[in-house]
């Protein structure tokens, strides 16, 4: 069941984020913005070569993207208004600031979505694949940071109306749905 916070509907679904319908999707990328496996591979495959070309331009301009930060490209041949590439932390045991870096991924992505006047945005479960971030903690960090962001409406006149967590795996979808309930 979705919840509504400050007029923003926050929901969870299970599936492939490239098939989601809305304004902008977030990619769990890497610091070099090189298309990789997991959700990154799926987004580059679905969007076509233009996304990688735009990632190369960002790389040339600013040398990549640091963990916790984010950058925008077009969505190539997908119909989204853009793709927000954020770089999650690689889990190193939890004492290297991983939760704060992961929270920054969510808030910086929301800042970019607002700057691009997006009305809706979908997030994958950043860092919980190859980067090995523990799933329960990642879920808490994701929901805490997104809900706190919406509560505080950090940007005046926040354009966002809908935020969805698109979980690829069934266990993550169940975890996010159960955890989201605790915020209502
Ligand atoms: P990271 O390197 O940040 O861990 P991964 O892509 O390996 O990134 O995994 C992040 C999450 O994305 C995982 O929960 C994985 O199951 C999920 N994922 C993989 N493919 C897709 C997809 N097509 N749509 C949405 N989520 C996906």
Give dist(CA 24, CA 30) in Å, integer: 19
Residues 6+ apart with CB under 8 A from 5: 147, 150, 151, 183
Could you tell me which of 86, 74, 80 has the C-alpha nearest to residue 19?
Answer: 80
Q: Which ligand 1 atom minimizes the distance to the CA of 88?
A: 3
CA of 6 to the centre of ligand 1 (A): 28
Question: For the chain, which domains are there?
Answer: 3-181 (3.40.220.10)
Please state whether the predicted TM-score (pTM) of the whole model is above 0.85: yes
pLDDT of residue 184: 82
The residue nearest atom 5 of ligand 1, judged by CA position, is 129
pLDDT at residue 156 tops 70: no
- Quick check: is 40 catalytic? yes
Q: Which ligand 1 atom minimizes the distance to the CA of 169?
A: 16
pLDDT of residue 178: 98
CA of 42 to the centre of ligand 1 (A): 9
pLDDT tens digits, 61-93: 999 999 999 999 999 999 999 999 999 999 999
- Exposed/middle/buried for 159, CB within 10 Å: 0-12, 13-18, 19+? middle
pLDDT of residue 10: 97
pLDDT of residue 158: 78
């Amino acid at each position: 069941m979705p919840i509504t916070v400050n007029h923003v509907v926050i929901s969870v679904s299970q599936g492939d984020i490239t098939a989601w319908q809305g304004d902008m999707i977030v990619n769990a990328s890497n610091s070099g913005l090189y298309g990789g496996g997991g959700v990154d591979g799926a987004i580059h495959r679905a969007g076509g070569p233009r996304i990688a070309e735009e990632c190369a331009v960002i790389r040339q301009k600013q040398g990549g993207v640091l963990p916790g930060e984010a950058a925008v490209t077009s969505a190539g041949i997908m119909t989204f208004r853009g793709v927000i590439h954020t770089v999650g932390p690689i889990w190193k045991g939890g004492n290297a600031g991983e939760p704060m870096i992961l929270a920054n991924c969510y808030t910086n992505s929301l800042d970019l979505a607002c700057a691009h006047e997006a009305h809706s945005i979908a997030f994958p479960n950043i860092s919980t694949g190859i980067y090995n971030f523990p799933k329960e903690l990642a879920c808490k960090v994701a929901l805490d940071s997104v809900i706190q962001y919406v509560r505080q409406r950090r940007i005046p006149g926040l354009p966002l109306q809908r935020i969805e967590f698109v979980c690829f795996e069934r266990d993550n979808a169940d975890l996010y749905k159960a955890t989201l309930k605790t915020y209502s």
